[in-house]
Structure 1
Amino acid sequence: MNAGRFLSLEGGEGAGKSTQGRALAAALAARGVEAVVTREPGGSDGAESIRALLMQGDAARWSPRAEALLFAAARADHVERVIRPALAAGRWVICDRYLDSSRAYQGLAGRLDDDAILALHAFGSEGLLPDRTFLLALPTEVGAARAAARDGLAADRFAARGSAFHAEVAAAFDRFAAQEPDRFRRIDATLPPAAVTQAMLDSLADWLP
């Protein structure tokens, strides 16, 4: 049995990661590729419990260090119970956020050392990285408007943070993409949704039947 492929979708608030993850899975299914759609934080029972702690409450509920530890714990459970078994069974995994979000939100924007985030990942998830990461890029003000329209007054602890924070997150993602061009594919998320999905499919042409 062929090993599966691990794809992650990254980007700021309102970039359409959840929508595009589902659309990409449907497009892959039409080509005979079975994909598991999951998310972070979350994806497994244990990780979803940690998600509730991370996403709810005041923005200052957790320090960046505490957040980094909670995200790493959630990811460790998610990888062990969902991602690795799916890959071993030959399925593709499409994950809405993964390690690069921790590096951006708690690392660069949260002023934690990137090496510390990576060390937690090396221990908790044995360093598992996606085979390909799609960075859904759009101006932060556009993303903020989309997120506000989506969430209204129910924004989570991260979406509710200020524009300066989200600008730093966007800059961090840009830096990661520049540092790892073999893994990252930058996708213009201002395009119509169908065009965004097609751009991701085009970037997977070397792996598709």
Structure 2
Amino acid sequence: MRGRFISLEGGEGVGKSTQLRALADALRSRGLEVVETREPGGSPGAEAIRSLLLGGAEDRWGPRAEALLFAAARADHVDKTIRPAVERGAWVLCDRFLDSSLAYQGGAGGLGIAAVLEINRFGIADYLPDRTLLLLHPQGSERARKRDAGESDRIGSRPAAYHQAVDAAFRSIAADEAGRVRPIDASGTPEAVTERLMAAIEDLL
């Protein structure tokens, strides 16, 4: 039986990593095999590209080079990790996927969502999540600043206006792809948020 591919998306500080682990535990309690992964990264080749993308000075890469590096990492991630796991029947939970590139490089970065979508469609051969859970939290950026204490990576450290544009792009994507992308209120207790996530994928179980 084919497994499922679920991505968790959102801006900085919305709790994706915490909720991915909680959602994985909830699914495992139902007897499912769960693979937890992340982007950029998730395969040896993609992890090597991750270090190039997130380290160094802000001007290390131009917008197009950055978008292409993300697409290359994603292509390897799908080929080596995501697709094989789903085909053997596992549930794959991914901390960020295609929609992050659309929101960050396409929306906030000014390349345009259509252009970034095109290079990624080639890289992943239109392989999309069964469900994308978009976590939304009004204090996400402030939580990220406190969490990182001035040690953000080169993307997380971008100015507030950039991250506001990311949020707007994510909301636009959710409106355009309501069948796949489910906005999730990420405020409240972690347990309450996990319950909302489980409710949003119940039809896939």
Q: Please, what TM-score do these two structures have when normalized by structure 1?
A: 0.96
The DSSP-based 3-state class of the residue aligned with 1:177 is helix
Residue 168 of structure 1: how far off its partner (Å): 0.3
Q: In structure 2, the residue corresponding to 1:101 is in which secondary structure?
A: helix
One-letter code aligned to 1:125: I
Number of positions where the alignment pairs a residue of Structure 1 with one of Structure 2: 205
User: Which runs of 4 or more aligned residues in structure 1 lie more than 4 Å from their structure 2 counterparts after TM superposition?
Assistant: none
Q: CA RMSD in A?
A: 0.9
What's the CA shift for 1:153?
Answer: 2.3
Q: C-alpha separation between the residues in 1 aligned to 2:158 and 2:129?
A: 27
Aligned match of 1:162:
159
Match of 2:136 in 1: 137
Shift of 1:113: 2.5
Partners of 1:7 and 1:100 in 2: CA distance: 12
Q: Mind listing any 5+ residue stretches in structure 1 that lack a counterpart?
A: none
Tell me how far apart the structure 2 counterparts of residues 92 and 194 of structure 1 sit (CA, whole Å): 21
The sequence identity of aligned pairs, in percent, is 58
Match of 1:178 in 2: 175
1:193: which partner in 2? 190
Residues in 1 aligned to 2:121 and 2:106: alpha-carbon distance in whole angstroms: 15
Partner of 1:41: 40
| Partner SS, residue 59 of structure 2 | coil
Q: Distance in 2 between matches of 1:87 and 1:165?
A: 34
Q: Please, which runs of 5 or more residues in structure 2 have no aligned partner?
A: none
SS in 2 for 1:22: helix
1:10: Cα distance to partner? Answer: 0.5
Tell me the distance in 2 between the aligned counterparts of 1:205 and 1:127. Answer: 24
Instruction: Using structure 2 for the length normalisation, give the TM-score.
Output: 0.97
